[in-house]
Amino acid sequence: MKIRPIKQKEIKFASKIVGKNYSKEYEKIASKEIGEMFRNVITRPNYIVAEEKGEVLGFGGYIQSWMDYNVYHIFWVNVRPDKQRKGIGTAIVKKLIEIINNKKAFMILLTTSKPKFYAKKFKFKTLVKFKNNKYNLMGLILRKSDNVID
């Protein structure tokens, strides 16, 4: 299995996974949002896929926060239903954290209905719960200072 940036022609396969995990409506939203990676915008999202033999098994995205340049967001982490619980989601999130950490970011924020997945494997902490505790806004502090001497 390879983890690499998504290709434009794979947007439909990635969004289909969202369609299967959630709904047709979310599939359309995901498709539009992934498409933003290929547009010339100031703050551009990036998406990576877990691929095997040319097939997209899962994906996930990240973006730098608007103005708060040291903060990044992770979103749309989705693994094909028939491929879940095989470590693919873990591999995707691990890679996303590694990419963001290499940018010397301070913090990662994400919203999820699967807080245990992020807490157990990656030590994200719940900051706020909403929609009757269905969703958790979680944070992971990567570093507390950039220690730059100026």
Q: Would you tell me which residues interact with ligand COA (CB under 6 A)?
A: 21, 77-79, 84-90, 112-114, 116-117, 120-121
Minimum Å gap between C-beta 79 and ligand COA is 4
For ligand COA, give the closer residue by CB, 114 or 125. Answer: 114
For ligand COA, give the closer residue by CB, 64 or 78. Answer: 78
For ligand COA, give the closer residue by CB, 11 or 96. Answer: 96
In this structure, the number of other CB atoms found within 10 A of the CB of residue 47 comes to 25
Is residue 62 a contact partner of residue 45, using CB atoms and an 8 Å limit? yes
b/e per residue 51-80 (b: at least 16 CB within 10 A): beeeebbbbbbbbbeeeeeebbbbbbbbbb
- Residue number closest to ligand COA, CB atom: 89
Q: Which two tokens stand for residue 120?
A: 């157990």
Minimum Å gap between C-beta 117 and ligand COA is 4
